[in-house]
Chain A
């Protein structure tokens, strides 16, 4: 939709050209959320596209994803064969409510900074133990783990004007095996629960990441694969009643119910591998 309160667009060609940040400025990546709902407090868009950050860079250390990497680029990425968890890139892209046409504009960083419970790029990067490279307006860049970035529904640790520059997924996580479960109230709708389990190649451990069902990602790390009952108790102990996210895409009790159900399926699946 037209953002009628916007009176200026800045298109910096380099980071030096990024203008002074003021109240009412908004970083524009893909624009697929910004342009989807009224933004009456926004007067200036600062377009990150013109910075031309390389979208994806695979190294021995892992995968570097620019915040401006589009979902389409991520979804099509051909990962090194030893990255057993790479199918999650596609699975999480497809878990998004948006259509494939929006993949062509929407960005990984945009999805993360929106910080919705069902933001599947948060699910992806949290389950793969990613860290985010944040650029404050003043001061040095800082690193925040994906798990700590989202603090609640539509809330995160970004300071005003602070920018998400890139996401690093370590090779140690990308080489893990994984199990993925997801559900929504309508076919291919917004996730009511998106749960991912990963396990090192040697096996025996479990990293369980709960998203969509909770307002912020919840991660449970088990050095040794827990029993069904222990897993259940761990979820109970680590997810407060108020953390289950209630909205039109699923009631809180339902999301809790799905989480227990899928967590156990994931545990069983990874136990069998």
Chain B
């Protein structure tokens, strides 16, 4: 067929059932993204004869004779369309994966459309921004500031890849030509627990195009964990790449690689697997009972389903409860949620001409993935290269090696490049989730509100495999309890194996779940005592002079590098009292209430975490910075450039950055646990300081002045009264063999803490159970803001995710442990219409631990959101809803109305 794409004539035949999205990508238009492939997310939006369509739903052949425009062709001749410019100037994206579709959609809007944005944008999902900056772009708000030499830190500078993102040129994981690559697909288990008796592969192998089939008999029989941490011992080695026992519905059974995706899918369907069904258990409480089916029986350490249990007591809670005038006790629970990063998991692996294994992947931890690949395949470190380019979101979901291994296996065995892209359904059934936790909280307090005892029992459902199970449980029992001063604290926690999809790391990492429980319980206690929610928190919050301790007697390395909780509470209380926000809708059926919750979170993980950076002066007088950490929308590349520019007295734009590549950047544990600023950023700061010293030392020797009289300024160095361009300095160095390259490493100890306070005013409809957010206020104590716009973006995004978790998101399962709603139309993440615009405030603090006064910020904001909403709903209705999510159909019948 003939058509034009972005003004260019194209003549090509699509496959009969091919959609336009893949057809366009096949011809190199990688700006057309796949977020869902089902018409729900809008990332693939293109124009056909000027009209916007979701190209994943459009039969490719229908484009015959028509003019198709993708993001790459929205503005001709390398210029920017006004909407691209608006997105650039508002910086209306974070990972940028949704931006192409969002811009293509918004480019069709007129003035009138601005009045109807909630409806017109419901087909464009963004998981990073919380839509605030997108709304800004549509209203012409400029958020980016000018890049001024020496003033990079503290400014709202744009992402270094911003222009590539808004023009569709940024290359995400699978945005590369792959004509010669084989496609990998996996057959997933329909059973929650079964032993594989046999797999017949003849029929699959007979499918034209099928090249190989891999089952448990073809993989290294080595146990490992798919979870990625610096310390491999914090996760259990309980997983085989492919196993002869399946422990959850969706576990991979076999992989088929073929010339086409279709052949691989057909091959999977034709595999004949004989299963012996085994008894199942889905509820962690039941799984702990004697006689429950045991999931893992591989070693002396595993004799029951409790993967890990944690216990601790400070003081004596029994005594504490005796001293209490009031005791509140209740069980709270949180739901299973998925990250829904818009870019699904995916990898491309090949054996290079250099004989090495190369893996291009969507990972938050390429270096750990590389170590695991070396271990699994018995390869030397030097023979493996794992790298990322642009990543479309992570949120902890990509702190997991779940696509790289099979691609590597297939590439090694077939000697062909092999790619595998998860479908959106596979994200739900075959990736990881947040750990659902049930938390029993018992609080004792004096009449004046002083806590006398805190006791918590947490049961965490880690699913079929235990990666992150121990660390999330420890996090759950740590900062949410340490946030309050009380001499008597006790907790018991259990992370339990069940025949459910494995849980993993997810923004907030366990602390989110228990913060929900404890913050709800604090409000319930306040009500019991007739106190205000702010008052009870002010009385009991940890103080600057206190030790930061939860339930353990051992000393920890957490300290107050800064302390801003007072400011946060004051800011939120004042904002809630301001009268801003929407008024309560008219009518007696609407009940109004306010809620608040606080959250404290360690600024970085308790486990080992290392980062390295390398920096060099280039011949043209600009800099090159290589950082091992990954960028998946967290903004670390921007802030790293700013940190380095700040130290070197230059503009952020003078620093070219590369990251997340085991060949081209120094080692980094991975970007998770809020380490992008506090560990990797620290490495960057140290590296920039070292380069500054190298440059001033050289200049002082070369030009005969004291090092103290030398300082870097923009693209030059000032030596006493002389100004020498850096290009000239580089040339001088080159003559004597000086390469101006430095490398530094950073580690994280001690660690600081950050605070967040969320306030919400809601209206709840007594009959329909609808919850309307009238005002949302958030205050964060995250130290100095390296990039205020990005900090606001992280907060907005975390708040939106918190609203989703509190009000909408729930993975629902049938009696066989199969997910009922593995699609974005049925598992609803917040859309534009669902997220209120929050008022954001920052405590005025400067951290003494983090780089240039900054603290971690990516995670903690989410923790305070759900309990604040739940507290507001309880305040409005007088009824406590202890289980998330608070969907109208789960709350209406307790509101005492008859329809």
Contacts and interface: CB of A to CB of B under 8 A. Distances in A.
Whether chain B is bound by chain A comes out as yes
A45 B266 CA distance: 19
A45 B893 contact: no
A10 to B, nearest CB: 10
Interface string A22-64: 0000001011100111001010010101000000000000000
- Count class of interface residues, chain B: 35 or more
B831 interface: yes
Interface string B821-847: 101011110110110000000000000
B54 A185 contact: no
B695 to A, nearest CB: 53
A31 B54 CA distance: 11
Nearest to B827: A248
A101 interface: yes
A81 interface: no
A15 interface: no
B767 A261 contact: yes
Contacts of B810: 248
A49 B807 CA distance: 40
Contacts of B817: none
A246 B795 CA distance: 35
Contact of A183 (B62, B768, B827): B768
Nearest to B891: A254
A4 B260 contact: yes
B262 A5 contact: yes
Interface string B38-65: 1110100100000111101111011000
Contact of B15 (A2, A183, A264): A2
B119 interface: yes
Contacts of A155: none
Contacts of B831: 186-188
Contact of B39 (A8, A102, A188, A253): A102
Contact of A5 (B120, B266, B770): B266
A36 B821 contact: no
A36 B59 contact: no
A157 interface: no
Given A1-B37, A101-B105, A102-B123, A9 B16 contact: yes
B199 interface: no
B51 A104 contact: yes
A47 B812 CA distance: 35
B261 interface: yes
Given A99-B124, A249-B826, A251-B890, A1 B38 contact: yes
Contact of B17 (A5, A36, A188, A190): A5
Contacts of B823: 37
B118 interface: yes
A196 interface: no
B269 interface: yes
Contacts of B770: 183
A44 B892 CA distance: 46
B888 interface: yes
Nearest to A249: B826
Residue of A36, A190, A251, A264 with most chain B CB atoms under a 10 A cut-off:
A36
B820 A258 contact: no
A91 interface: no
Given A2-B22, A4-B17, A254 B892 contact: yes
A87 B821 CA distance: 33
A7 B16 contact: yes
B123 A99 contact: yes
Given A186-B834, A248-B821, A32 B892 contact: no
Contacts of B821: 248
A95 to B, nearest CB: 11
B18 interface: yes
Interface in B828-887: 828, 830-831, 833-834, 887
B745 interface: no
Contact of B899 (A32, A188, A264): A264
Contacts of B467: none
Given A36-B38, A97-B825, A9 B59 contact: yes
Contacts of B887: 185
A248 B825 CA distance: 10
A101 B899 contact: no
A3 B834 contact: no
Nearest to B37: A1
A253 B887 CA distance: 13
8 contacts: A4-B262, A185-B887, A185-B888, A186-B808, A186-B831, A254-B888, A258-B768, A264-B899
Which 8 A-B pairs give the minimum distances between C-beta atoms?
A: A99-B123, A6-B17, A4-B262, A3-B17, A254-B889, A261-B899, A187-B833, A1-B37
Interface of A: 1-9, 28, 30-32, 35-37, 40, 42, 45, 47, 49, 94, 97-102, 104-105, 183, 185-190, 192, 248-251, 253-255, 257-258, 260-261, 264
Given A31-B59, A105-B57, 9 more contacts: A4-B262, A8-B16, A9-B61, A35-B58, A99-B54, A105-B53, A185-B888, A248-B812, A254-B888
